[in-house]
Chain A
Amino acid sequence: KAGVTQTPRYLIKTRGQQVTLSCSPISGHRSVSWYQQTPGQGLQFLFEYFSETQRNKGNFPGRFSGRQFSNSRSEMNVSTLELGDSALYLCASSLAGYFTDTQYFGPGTRLTVL
């Protein structure tokens, strides 16, 4: 089975621009979560989507948004980029998001904001 895939792997943007990142979950997985990883803040939860609905959201400003499609693929969007948005963005998928489910992570998208 193919793992979680994320595109693009690397991205360079300038302040004020917007960016869209894509995540394809493992086949059959319906829950997709997004995390931001930075040296200063570590791994922080952004949001989770299940059956095209946002089920959970972390403490990030409204510039960070996401969506999920009927095939469970997910995108996240960051508008009006700031320097502090430079990070590794990780997507994780799980079967249904039950407490016992394991989240499997993709390789991440490295975003650099100049």
Chain B
Amino acid sequence: AQSVAQPEDQVNVAEGNPLTVKCTYSVSGNPYLFWYVQYPNRGLQFLLKYITGDNLVKGSYGFEAEFNKSQTSFHLKKPSALVSDSALYFCAVRDTGGGNKLTFGTGTQLKVEL
């Protein structure tokens, strides 16, 4: 069965500093990985995905993620954080058993302070 771990419940970073939100995964077969962001009282917004190809994936709002197969990680990064990036971030992996099921991590609350 697929699983995703987000080891940090909360990440604090100062505005203008780089940010990293960590994610590790466990899958049998090829990993299809996604990052979503959730603002209060809102649904999930898609940021980026890794399907195949380049290990550095660029997404929306200046976010990127680095896929590392040997470390089974898919960390989300941004070179310069904004206060408006403060939100709940979810890493997810597509179920390889067919269908359209995503298995999500527990989420990481990002707080960007002035």
| Chain A residues proximal to chain B, CB less than 8 Å | 4, 6, 31, 33, 35, 42-43, 45, 48, 50, 55-56, 58, 90, 92, 94, 97, 99-108, 110
Contact = CB atoms under 8 A, between A and B. Distances in A.
Interface string B47-76: 001010000000000000000000000000
Given A100-B32, A102-B34, A105-B36, A45 B101 contact: yes
22 contacts: A4-B43, A6-B43, A31-B100, A35-B102, A42-B106, A43-B102, A45-B102, A48-B100, A48-B101, A50-B100, A56-B100, A90-B44, A97-B99, A99-B94, A99-B96, A100-B51, A103-B34, A103-B46, A105-B43, A106-B43, A108-B42, A110-B41
B45 interface: yes
The 6 closest A-B pairs by CB, nearest first: A56-B99, A97-B100, A43-B104, A105-B43, A105-B44, A107-B43
B51 A103 contact: no
Interface of B: 32, 34, 36, 41-46, 49, 51, 90, 92, 94-96, 98-107
Contact of A43 (B51, B90, B94, B99): B90
B101 A33 contact: yes
Is chain A's interface secondary structure helix, strand, loop, or mixed overall? strand
B98 to A, nearest CB: 7
Contacts of A99: 32, 51, 94, 96
Contacts of A102: 34, 46, 49
A59 B94 CA distance: 16
Nearest to A41: B106
Contacts of B36: 105
